[in-house]
A and B are shown apart, each in its own frame.
Chain A
Amino acid sequence: MSKSIITNNIRKLRFYHNEMTQQELADKTGVTRQTIVAIENEKYFPTLELAFRIAHVFGTPLEEVFLFDPQKIPDNKVK
C-alpha cells in the first residue's frame, strides 16, 4: 500500500482509455515518458498545471486522477 499522501489512478485510467501507452499520455501532456513513469510510481508530484492537463486528457475531474488522503499526514503536521 502506498505511503504517499497523494496517490493517483493514472495506470487505471490509461487502461480504461483503450490501454493508452505512457508515451501517448506523455505526448498529449507535453512531458517526457519518464515523467509519466515517475508520476505513476509516486516518485514525482506534478505541478497543478500538469495535473489538470492529465485530467483533461482523460476527460475526468482532477480528484478522480489524484487522490488526497489526509489520514496519511504525519501527526506533527496536523493543526
Chain B
Amino acid sequence: MKERQILVSTLGSLVIFICYAVYVYSRYVSADAGVINDFKFWGKAIVFLIPLAIAAQIIIHIFFAIVNKIVTREDIPVISDERDKLIELKALRVSYWTFLTGFLLAMGSQAIGMEPWVMFVTMISSAFLGGILEGITQIWFYRKGV
C-alpha cells in the first residue's frame, strides 16, 4: 500500500516537473534565450513551481485514495508507525546528500566563472533528483527490509 502510494507520488512529481520545465522553456526561453541568465526569471520560476508542486501532490494523493478505495476496498493507512518513520528518515538522508552535492556543484560552477543559468539548473535538478531518489529509496527499503 505504502509502496504504491510512494510510487504514484514519485511518478506524479516526475510528470509535474517535466511538464513545468517544458512549459517554462516553450513559453519564455524559446521566445527570448537571454532570459536564462536573468535572476528575476529564475526567481519567478522557482516561486511558482513550489506551490504548484504542493497543490499537484495534494490532488494526486486524493485521486490515489479514491482509486485505491474503489479497486482494493482498502483505506490508506492513516498512521505512520516506527518502521515508516525509520524508512522516511533513511530516504530523507539520501535526498539531503543529493541536494547538498547539487548545491556544492552549483556553487562550484560560479566559482569557476560559469554562467548563472548553470547554477540554477544544477540546483533545481539536484532538488528534483533528491525527491525522486527519496521515493526510490523508500520503495527499496519497504521491499528489501530495513
Interface residues, chain A, CB within 8 Å of chain B? 30-32, 34-35, 38, 41-44, 46-47, 50
- Give the residue among B1, B2, B82, B144 with the most A Cβ atoms within 10 A: B82
Range class of the B interface residue count: 10 to 19
- Count the A-B residue pairs with Cβ separation under 8 angstroms: how many? 36
User: Closest Cβ of chain A: how far from B6's Cβ, in Å?
Assistant: 12
- Report the bound CA distance from A43 to B145 in whole Å: 4
In the bound complex, residues from chain B placing their C-beta under 8 Å from that of A50 are 82
* Structural contact, B145 and A32, CB atoms closer than 8 A: no
- Chain B minimum-CB-distance residue to A41: B145
Interface residues, chain B, CB within 8 Å of chain A? 1-2, 77, 79, 81-84, 142, 144-146
The 3 closest A-B pairs by CB, nearest first: A43-B145, A31-B81, A35-B83
- Report the bound CA distance from A25 to B23 in whole Å: 50
- Report the bound CA distance from A38 to B82 in whole Å: 12
User: Closest Cβ of chain A: how far from B144's Cβ, in Å?
Assistant: 7
- Report the bound CA distance from A31 to B83 in whole Å: 9
- Report the bound CA distance from A46 to B2 in whole Å: 18
